[in-house]
Chains A and B, each alone.
Chain A
């Protein structure tokens, strides 16, 4: 399969809690990107982390990358109802192709 693996497939947490999603891949990468998608809508680019970077922050988002383990994680702190969405990691390879993981459906409970 061209896709990477993400876990969990679905995650429900209480508003205010932190949400962590993980992503693994198999081939070498130029960078790894995280996207959000609300139901039936387009993609929203969240963060891009290069292969030579280990951690990146953007507001309440924190992304880590471990190229030795071929894995990445996305942490959303102090979750809000508006964070309810599907989250995808996507790896960009040497050929510029972006291959998406299967995604995590995040549901923030009020």
Chain B
């Protein structure tokens, strides 16, 4: 089946710095990827839809200038948390649908990136 990877798996940074998280589809092309955020003991909240070759679309309440998304190729989307603050500490997860491997429109989720901002 399809595999989605994320890098890094864990990052600790100082307040005010920017952090980049990568999401890669390893064996399929993804024109669309999705980014989620999960706070402790809560569910996943969809942040934005990453579109290859065009601007990302953000969910209501998500600051596009703070969470920069770049979908530079058919296998890579990056999420940059700019000027991170402690309240941005969270588990960030990406997903991508693969029409080739899945006949059921199944989406494949990355393993997540745990961000801790000191």
Count residues on chain B whose CB falls below 8 Å from chain A CBs.
Answer: 24
| Residues of A close to B110: CB separation below 8 A | 42
In the complex, whether A25 has a CB less than 8 A from a CB of chain B is no
Q: Are A88 and B32 in contact (CB under 8 A)?
A: no
Q: Is the interface of A mostly helix, strand, loop or mixed?
A: strand
Alpha-carbon gap, A90 to B46, bound state (A): 11
| Residues of A close to B91: CB separation below 8 A | 40
Q: Are B46 and A96 in contact (CB under 8 A)?
A: no
Alpha-carbon gap, A103 to B105, bound state (A): 22
Taking CB atoms and an 8 Å cut-off, the chain A residues in 56-101 that contact chain B are: 88, 90, 92, 96-101
Please tell me the size bucket of the interface on A.
20 to 34
In the complex, whether A20 has a CB less than 8 A from a CB of chain B is no
Chain B residue, CB-CB nearest to A44: B109
Q: Are A99 and B104 in contact (CB under 8 A)?
A: no
Q: Are A31 and B46 in contact (CB under 8 A)?
A: no
Alpha-carbon gap, A19 to B2, bound state (A): 30
Q: A30-B105, A31-B105 are in contact. Are A88 and B44 (CB under 8 A)?
A: yes
Residues of B within 8 A of A (CB): 32, 34, 36, 42-46, 49, 59, 91, 93, 95, 97, 104-112, 114
